[in-house]
Amino acid sequence: MRKIADIMSADCITITPQSDIKEAASMMKEHDIGFIPVIEGRKLVGVVTDRDLVIRGYANNHDGSTSVSQVLSDNVRTISPDVSVDEAAAMMSSGQIRRLPVVENGHLVGIVSLGDLAIREIFVNEAGEALSGISEQEGQSSQFAH
């Protein structure tokens, strides 16, 4: 059984609560992401999304120097690295969650996204199709061997 640790992204872009929202927006643009975990040390304290920046930040007349702590989402669902991929997929589906911080002992160790799950499913499907194709070819070649 595959675990989240097998498919998560461990090299996460992170930001601190003291960073300003302009820095968060610039990081999102630079890395082409819409989600940044907010950490103190290695402890996850929340996440900031592009939507947080717009709705809680700029739309509420906060300027770019406003701290991330003013706009972050702190009620964040997380997952353990030893949870099965299937269990994570069910959790993400039921909660309509696109990205889950992977946390161990309160410390951020990675992120798992719908894309990570999709890639895993493609590999599983391709492996099944390949095995099926190999089995069919073996069956056909054994017919010719007689």
Q: What is the CATH number of the domain that holds 121?
A: 3.10.580.10
The helix (run of H) or strand (run of E) holding residue 142 is: helix 114-144
The pLDDT of residue 1: 79
CA distances in angstroms from 94 to 81, 86, 89, 91, 100, listed in the order given? 19, 12, 9, 5, 13
- CA–CA dist 48, 65 (Å, integer): 15
Sign (positive or negative) of CA dihedral 103, 109, 111, 112: negative
Domain region containing 114? 4-144
User: Using one digit for the tens of pLDDT, what is the confidence trace for 86-133?
Assistant: 899 888 888 888 899 999 999 999 999 888 887 655 445 544 444 454
Q: Is-contact 64 20, C-beta < 8 A?
A: yes
What is residue 8's DSSP assignment? Answer: S
> Using one digit for the tens of pLDDT, what is the confidence trace for 23-65?
999 999 999 999 999 999 989 999 999 999 999 998 888 888 9
The reply to whether the predicted model has a pTM over 0.75 is: yes
Q: How many domains does the chain have?
A: 1
